[in-house]
Structure 1
Amino acid sequence: MDYYENHLAATDVKACHRLILEIGADLFESSSSVLDYGCGTGVLIELVKAKYPHLEINGSEVSNANIAACLEKGISCQKIDALPSKDKDDDAYDLVICSEVIEHVQSPIEVLEDIARNVKPGGHVIVSVPNAFNIKHRFYYLFGKHLDPNKDPVKRRFPEHIQSLGFGHMEKLMTMAGLEIFREYGYLKPTGRLIKNGFLRSFFSSYVLTIAHRPTASGSADFLSHG
């Protein structure tokens, strides 16, 4: 829990949570059940509950300390101790959120497949990860600083990040997990604005924000009106 709390204090993850609420507003409105997969201490769940009190929202976590923190707040939180997880039955949720988790795991595809299993056919998934391939990080790679944690300020600050992911990686992984992407956003840290332009978000975004749906058996999705 110490890492998660320090991470929130040290970075703009709170801003990322705000952006998830913004880009997923229509999905939160139309959903009745939500899972925050890898919910930490329940910070995002609290934000969602405050804005959308009609939702049944649960969390899942690997950390016993984080689970205890959630339960103290009255947040329903289940233990992920193996994949596939068993929080509820398969196809249980209208919407699954996974914020700042994939970069910490050994097998991102297994986690995304588990997320896809938890969401209903026609349901939606929102995933956010740090953009490890924006222009700042590309300079680190160009000069080999990413090979030495003592020289790479990103790795020095976040040694728990074991995956380096960008927009292309997330597109491939989501597709492999059986999910279909229909919205992608970047986040321009200095301005706090969303970036929709593909070139700009790849090179200047601090985060990769992706919304996908799980196709129904017929291959179609229950689309909302998406902008």
Structure 2
Amino acid sequence: MAPRALLRWSVVEPSIRAISPERVVEFGCGQGAFGARVAVGRDYLGVEPDPRSAGRAAAAIEPAGGRVVNGFPSEVDLGDPADLVCAFEVLEHIEDDAAALDEWITAVRPGGRVMISVPAYADRFGPSDVRSGHFRRYDPDHLRRLFERAGLVDVDVVVYAWPLGYLLEAVRNRRDRRFLDENPSDIEELTAASGRTGQPGSRWLGLAIRIGTAPFVLLQALNRRTGTGLVAVGTRPVAE
């Protein structure tokens, strides 16, 4: 995983462990970095609209016992309602985020959880967001209200990626500003490619990233008031 994904996983993994879901559906599973970890010992389905990413996700997730389908949520059979529906770094790519969240909620059983991650703070929107195909970033209160308007309860929003996220974002903004000047693309192309960029190219590089990021995983726990990413969890009410 890339450094920011490792920071995110350190927040997501304990929450998934606490929920202890038997069935998980992940929308926008990318190349399967999270899915390969979540799928172990669970009934896992990953849904990925980009065919190249879906192929790589299947190679990572299926040995762990999960399944991957290529398509959009509305196009595939999701099977039985899940205990946990998750989407990491996906909602910001969708123009009508409220409609997308409403659709995702239908895939989770009453009493089940919805978990997402998004980039934090609207005023930090920059070249890295444009290159990734983002429509927006989210303030914590904005994300909480979005969950509550969708009917979710017991909403918890966590800020993460302090302080390393700021350095990573500064480097990406500088790099992506040059890229966008030289390679104009539409938002659909940028979104499709976003799950394939920034991934470690070898096992040794991945190991080096894990070692280098480890101190910052511990450090971010000291400050949950600021950072560059958000993880939100909400519950679908049992009686609606």
TM-score, normalising length: structure 1:
0.70
1:45 to 2:45 alignment: no
The runs of 5 or more residues in structure 1 that have no matched partner are: 1-7, 138-145, 147-151, 220-227
Provide the C-alpha distance between the structure 2 equivalents of 1:215 and 1:194, rounded to a whole number of angstroms: 32
Counterpart check, 1:76 vs 2:98: no
Structure with greater helix share of residues? 2
* CA apart distance, 1:72: 2.6
The match for 2:78 is 88
Q: 2:196 is matched with which residue?
A: none
CA RMSD of aligned residues (A): 2.3
Tell me, what secondary structure is at the counterpart of 1:161? coil
Alignment of 1:23 with 2:12, yes or no, is no
Match of 1:5 in 2: none
Displacement after TM superposition at 1:44 (Å): 0.1
CA distance, structure 1, for counterparts of residue 71 and residue 136 of structure 2: 20
Partner of 1:223: none
What is the identity, as a one-letter code, of the residue corresponding to 1:168?
D
8 Å Cα contact 1:185/1:194 also seen in 2: no
Query: Unmatched 5+ residue regions in structure 2?
Result: 164-218
Report the CA distance shift for 1:194/1:133 in structure 2 as closer, same or farther (over 3 A): farther
Q: Percent identical across equivalent pairs?
A: 23
Determine which of 28, 53, 68 is the counterpart of 1:66.
53
SS in 2 for 1:211: strand
**SS of the residue aligned with 1:112?**
helix
Match for residue 177 of structure 1?
150
1:99 corresponds, among 79, 83, 88, to 88
- 2:229 aligned partner: 207
Deviation at 1:133, TM superposition (A): 3.8
What does 1:124-143 align with in structure 2 at a 5 Å threshold? 124-133=113-122, 137=124
Partner of 1:143: none
Question: Residues 144-163 of structure 1 correspond to what in structure 2 (within 5 A)?
Answer: 152-155=126-129, 158-163=131-136
Select between 98-107 and 14-23 the one with higher mean Cα deviation: 14-23
**Residue among 44, 53, 68 paired with 1:57:** 44
Question: May I ask how many residue pairs the two structures share in their alignment?
Answer: 181
Could you tell me which of 128, 137, 141 is aligned with 1:164?
137
- From the superposition, tell whether residues 182 and 118 of structure 1 become closer, same or farther in structure 2 (CA, over 3 Å): same
Letter in 1 for 2:133: E
Distance 1:166 1:206, change over 3 A: same
Indicate the residue corresponding to 1:119 in structure 2.
108
Q: Secondary structure at the match of 1:12?
A: helix
